[in-house]
Amino acid sequence: MDLSFSPEELAFRDEVREWIRTAMPPRLRAIAEVDGHFGVDETMEWHRILHRKGWVAPHWPRKFGGPGLDVTRRFILTEELELSGAPQLLPFGLSMVGPLIMQFGDEAQQARYLPKILSGEEKWCQGYSEPNAGSDLAAVRLTAEDAGDHFVLNGQKTWTTYAQYADWIFLLARTDTGAKKQAGISFLLCDMKSEGVRVRPTLTIGGTHAFCDTFFEDVRVPKENLVGPLHGGWTLAKALLGHERTLVAAVGSSARTLLRAKRIAQSTTRGGRPLADDPVVRAKIARMECRLEALKMANYRALAGAKQGHAPGAESSILKLCGSEIIQGMYELCLDLMGADALTWMNEPGVVPAWEDWVGPNYNYLRAATIYAGSNEIQKNIIAKLILGLPS
Amino acid sequence: MNFDLTDDQRLLVDTVTSFVKKESPVERFRKLRDDEEGVGWSRDVMRKFGELGWLAVPFSEDDGGLGGSMVDVALILEQLGAALAPEPFLASIVLGGLAIAHAGDAAQRARWLPDVIAGDKTLAFAHLEEGSRYDAHHVSTRAERTGTGFRLTGRKRWVLNGHAADAIVVVARTSGDVGAREGISLFVVDRGAPGVQITTVRTMDGHRAAMIALDGVEVGAESLLGTEGAALPIVERVLDGATAAACAEGLGLMTQSLQRTRDYLVDREQFGVKIGTFQALQHRAVDMFVETELTRGTTILAALRADDPDPLQRMRGVSVAKVQLARGGRYVVQQAIQLHGGIGITDEADVGLYFKRMHVLESLFGDEDWHLSRVSSPG
C-alpha cells in the first residue's frame, strides 16, 4: 500500500497549478480569489480556455478529443481545478450526455455532437425529472409519438438546470405507452430552438435561476436524434447515474470551502482575538477537516480501483452520500462562523468581506446536493439492496 | 497510489482469518472473561500467535522479527478484533515490544524481544497517570539516580496487560517538571521487583488491566532504555502506532457489528415480514455501512502514516483516523444494539461485546476531543 503520487504525477500536478495560475484571466481570478459567483458567461469563458489547452474533458478518451490522461492524472487535474476556485464547468455536455453518446451513440451522432460539446459551442441541459417523476424516474410521462421520420414530443420536464442557456436538451421520453414502466422509455436529443419548446426559469432558494421548467408542445424531433435502441432509454438513464455518482464526491470543492471557513475564522474577531483561537471553533473546523480526510481516502480507494479497471465497488457507492453531506456541512460551517454577517443577502460589495458574500446563497442552493443525482434516500435504498442484500 | 495488498499480506489475512474462525470463536472470549481465576486471555493461544509468526511482524530481522509494517500489524489486529480475541497483542507487541525495539540497545532488545516474539513472555506499557489525560509528556512518576541505577516512584493507571505482563515498560521522569517535554525516560521493570504493586482491575469490555504503584523501585542502569531524558519522541511514536492498531481492531469490530446486524435484519420477522424490508432500518444499516467504509479508508491512512518519519504527518494521519473511529465506530456499535432490539441488551448477544470493546478502544490513546485538538494544532 502506498498513498503517495509518483514523481511524474507530482510534476504533472505542478504543471497544472502553474498553468492555472497563468491561464486564468484577471477578471475570473478576482472572483475566484474571494470564492464569488461565476455566471454562465464566465463559466463558458473558462471552458474555452481549458478547451484550447486540451483539458476541458479530462475523462474523455483521446479518440473523442480528450487528453488521454490516466485515472490518476484525471483526478489530479480535476482536484487542482476545483481547488483553484476556477469556475466549475457545466456538466451536462461534458460529463453527462457526452459520455452517453460515446457509449451508446452511432458514429454520425458522435461526429455531430461531441466536438461542439468540447469546444463549448453548444451547451446542454438534462431533461429527466418531471413534476410526477422525481425519485421515481421511470414514471416519466412526456410522450414521443412516432410520426414517420420524426417523433412528436408533448409534456413537461422540470429541474432542467440552465435550460434558459442551453442549445440542446437530452431527455427521457415515453415512446411506448403500453409497455411496463421502464420498458417504454427512449433517450432523445432535442434542439432547444425547436418550435414548441418553452422554458420557464425557477427562482431557487439560492437566489439564482438555476432550474427551469421546460415545456414541450408538438415538438418535432428527427428520428436520427434517438440515442441507443428505441424503448431502450432506461439503460442509458442508469448508465448516466453511474457516471454522475463519481462526479459528486466534490473533494476539491469541499477542500476549497474548508479553506474559506478558515479564512473567515482568521478574519473574524471576538474581543480582539481571531475566532480561530477559540478552541470550540477550532474543534468544529477540525471535525469537518477529519470528515473530509475520510472522504478523500474513500475517493482515493475508488480511484485506485478504477485505475485497475475494477467496476465501481462498495467504496464508490458512498461517495455521493458523503460528498454531498460534506459540502453542505462545509457551507454550514462557513455560515456559522460568519456570526451576524450570515444575515447578508445579495448586497452591494463591501457590506461584508467579499469572501462572505456568496456563502449564504451557496449554502441555500447546496441543499440540492443531497437531492439531485438521485436523492440520498434513493442512494440508501440502492446500497441496502445491492450491497447489503436486504430484502425488498 | 495503490491500495492493493501484496501476496504476502493476503496470505497473512487468510491465515489469521482461518485461525480465529477455527480456534477463536467469540465463545472462547466469553469463557476467558468469565473465568475469575484466569488473566482473561490464553497463554497457549499467545504462544500459537508466536508460532505462526504474527508476534514477529513489526520487529526488524536483526531482532528476530519479520521486518513488517504497521499495515501488516493492522491487518492482523482487524481480524483479531473481529473475533474478539483477548490476547495482549496491542499491549505486548505494539506498545511494550515496539518501545523496547525503538528505544533499547542491542543487549536490551536481545534480553526481551525473543521471548516476547515467541509469545512466552508478555509486556505492558505504563504511561497513563492521574491527571495526565492523554498527554504523553504529562509524567509525574520520578526516576532518581542511585549508585547503581535508578529508583522509581509514582503511580500508573489503566496499564493494559499490566496484571499479567512479565515486565512493564514504564514512562518516568528523570528530570524536569510535570508537563515538560524534556526529561522523560523509559525503563523496563520486572513485575516482581520489590516495590512494584500491581492491582488487577476489570475493564468494561471484560478484559483486565492494572493499576500500578511504584514505591521506590530500585532498578539497575541496564533497565534504562535509550538516552536518559530524551524518550518523549519514542513514547509519542509508540502511542501513535498503538492508536493506528486500535483503529484497525475497531474496524474489525465495526465490520462484525454491521455483518451481524445485517444478518439479523434478514432473519428476524415481525408483522409477518422480514424486518430488513423496513426502510427506516435499511437506511440505518446503510449509515452503519458508510461509517464502516470511511473507517476502512482512514485506518489505511493511520497505518501508513504510523511509520512516517515525519512526526507531523504521522500525528495528523493517526488523529484523523481516531476521530473517525470515535464517531463512526461508536455510531455503528450503538446502532447494532438498537437494530437487534431487546436481544441486543442481553449479555448473550455478541453485539454487546463489540459495543463494549469499541468503547474501550475509544477511551484509549486519546479520545475524539484530544485528537481533534491535535488536528487543529498549528504546524
Secondary structure letter of residue B229 according to DSSP: T
A5 touches chain B (CB under 8 A): yes
| A338-to-A92, A247, A268, A275, A361 alpha-carbon distances in Å | 33, 29, 7, 10, 14
DSSP letters for A87-138: PPPPHIIIIIIHHHHHHH--HHHHHHHHHHHHHTSS-EEEE--BTTBSSSGG
Nearest chain B Cα to A315, which residue?
B293
Element containing residue A217 per DSSP (H, E): strand A211-222
Check whether residue B265 and residue B355 sit in a common domain: yes
Check whether residue B191 and residue B206 sit in a common domain: yes
Residue B271 sits in a domain whose CATH number is 1.20.140.10
Nearest chain B Cα to A377, which residue?
B283
- Pick from A283, A300, A303: which is nearest to B369 by CB? A283
- Pick from B1, B274, B324: which is nearest to A72 by CB? B1
Residue B196 sits in a domain whose CATH number is 2.40.110.10
Q: What whole-number distance in Å separates Cα of residue A164 and Cα of residue A167?
A: 9
Three cell numbers, residue B56: 514477529
Secondary structure letter of residue A341 according to DSSP: G
B118 touches chain A (CB under 8 A): no
For residues A20-44, give the mean pLDDT. Answer: 95
Active site residues of A: 244
Would you state the pLDDT for residue B284?
A: 98
Check whether residue B328 and residue B259 sit in a common domain: yes
- Pick from B2, B283, B286: which is nearest to A1 by CB? B2
Does B297 contact A315 at a Cβ distance shorter than 8 Å?
A: yes
Q: Which of B100, B121, B142 is the last residue of a domain?
A: B121
Contacts of B375 in chain A (CB under 8 A): 286, 289-290
Does the pLDDT at position A243 exceed 70?
no
Three cell numbers, residue A183: 420498458
To the nearest whole Å, the CA of B123 is away from the closest chain A CA by 29
Does the pLDDT at position A248 exceed 70?
no
Residue B23 lies in a domain: yes
To the nearest whole Å, the CA of B26 is away from the closest chain A CA by 23
Residue B35 lies in a domain: yes
Please answer whether residues A174 and A140 qualify as being in contact, where contact means their C-beta atoms are separated by less than 8 angstroms: yes
Q: Which domain holds residue B301?
A: 233-375
User: From the DSSP assignment, how many helices (H) and strands (E) are in chain B?
Assistant: 13, 10
Residue B95 lies in a domain: yes
For residues A82-91, give the mean pLDDT. Answer: 93
Does B279 contact A314 at a Cβ distance shorter than 8 Å?
A: no
Residue B1 lies in a domain: no
Please answer whether residues B186 and B96 qualify as being in contact, where contact means their C-beta atoms are separated by less than 8 angstroms: no
A321 touches chain B (CB under 8 A): yes
Does A315 contact B274 at a Cβ distance shorter than 8 Å?
A: no
B290 touches chain A (CB under 8 A): yes
Residue B361 lies in a domain: yes
What is the per-residue pLDDT across B157-188, written as a single tens digit (0 to 9) for each?
999 999 999 999 999 999 999 999 999 999 99
- Pick from A290, A388, A389: which is nearest to B320 by CB? A290
Nearest chain B Cα to A282, which residue?
B376
B324 touches chain A (CB under 8 A): yes
Contacts of B294 in chain A (CB under 8 A): 294-295, 297-298, 318, 322
Would you state the pLDDT for residue A308?
A: 72
Position B379 confidence tier, pLDDT thresholds 50, 70, 90: very low
Does A289 contact B375 at a Cβ distance shorter than 8 Å?
A: yes
Position A314 confidence tier, pLDDT thresholds 50, 70, 90: low
B304 touches chain A (CB under 8 A): yes
Does A295 contact B376 at a Cβ distance shorter than 8 Å?
A: no
Check whether residue B107 and residue B136 sit in a common domain: no
Position A315 confidence tier, pLDDT thresholds 50, 70, 90: low
Would you state the pLDDT for residue A72?
A: 85
A325 touches chain B (CB under 8 A): no
Residue B369 lies in a domain: yes
For residues B243-265, give the mean pLDDT. Answer: 98
Would you state the pLDDT for residue A373?
A: 82
Contacts of A4 in chain B (CB under 8 A): 1
Would you state the pLDDT for residue A384?
A: 95
Length of chain A, in residues: 392
Does B375 contact A303 at a Cβ distance shorter than 8 Å?
A: no
DSSP SS3 for A349? coil
Residue B80 sits in a domain whose CATH number is 1.10.540.10
What is the per-residue pLDDT across B107-157, written as a single tens digit (0 to 9) for each?
999 999 999 999 999 999 999 999 999 999 999 999 999 999 999 999 999
Does the pLDDT at position A374 exceed 90?
no
Check whether residue B83 and residue B141 sit in a common domain: no
Residue B323 lies in a domain: yes
Would you state the pLDDT for residue A303?
A: 80
For residues A49-59, give the mean pLDDT. Answer: 94
Mutate to test the interface with A, among B268, B294, B308, B373 (most CBs of A within 10 A): B294
Interface A–B counts its CB contacts (< 8 A) at 126
* Complete domains list, chain A, with CATH: 7-89 (no CATH), 124-231 (2.40.110.10), 248-386 (1.20.140.10)
B370 touches chain A (CB under 8 A): no
Residue B2 lies in a domain: no
Q: What whole-number distance in Å separates Cα of residue B187 and Cα of residue B171?
A: 7
Position A270 confidence tier, pLDDT thresholds 50, 70, 90: very high
Q: Which of B229, B251, B269 is the last residue of a domain?
A: B229
Contacts of A391 in chain B (CB under 8 A): 266, 274, 276-277
Position B220 confidence tier, pLDDT thresholds 50, 70, 90: very high
Secondary structure letter of residue A297 according to DSSP: H
To the nearest whole Å, the CA of A274 is away from the closest chain B CA by 14
What is the per-residue pLDDT across A111-143, written as a single tens digit (0 to 9) for each?
999 999 999 999 999 999 999 998 888 999 999
Q: What whole-number distance in Å separates Cα of residue B326 and Cα of residue B361?
A: 9
Check whether residue B111 and residue B128 sit in a common domain: no
Check whether residue B209 and residue B144 sit in a common domain: yes
A297 touches chain B (CB under 8 A): yes
Q: What whole-number distance in Å separates Cα of residue A173 and Cα of residue A128?
A: 9
Check whether residue B66 and residue B33 sit in a common domain: yes
Number of compact structural domains in chain B: 3
Check whether residue B194 and residue B259 sit in a common domain: no
DSSP SS3 for B307? coil
Contacts of B369 in chain A (CB under 8 A): 283
Does B323 contact A283 at a Cβ distance shorter than 8 Å?
A: no
Q: What is the pLDDT of chain B when averaged over all its residues?
A: 96
Check whether residue B193 and residue B288 sit in a common domain: no
Please answer whether residues B314 and B237 qualify as being in contact, where contact means their C-beta atoms are separated by less than 8 angstroms: yes
Q: Which of B229, B251, B281 is the last residue of a domain?
A: B229
For residues A146-172, give the mean pLDDT. Answer: 96
Does B297 contact A294 at a Cβ distance shorter than 8 Å?
A: yes
Does the pLDDT at position A246 exceed 60?
no
Check whether residue B284 and residue B326 sit in a common domain: yes
Does A315 contact B293 at a Cβ distance shorter than 8 Å?
A: yes
Task: Cite the DSSP H helix spans in chain A.
Answer: 7-23, 26-33, 40-53, 71-83, 91, 98-104, 107-119, 233-247, 251-267, 279-307, 314-337, 359-365, 376-386
- Pick from B1, B287, B298: which is nearest to A294 by CB? B298
Check whether residue B60 and residue B173 sit in a common domain: no
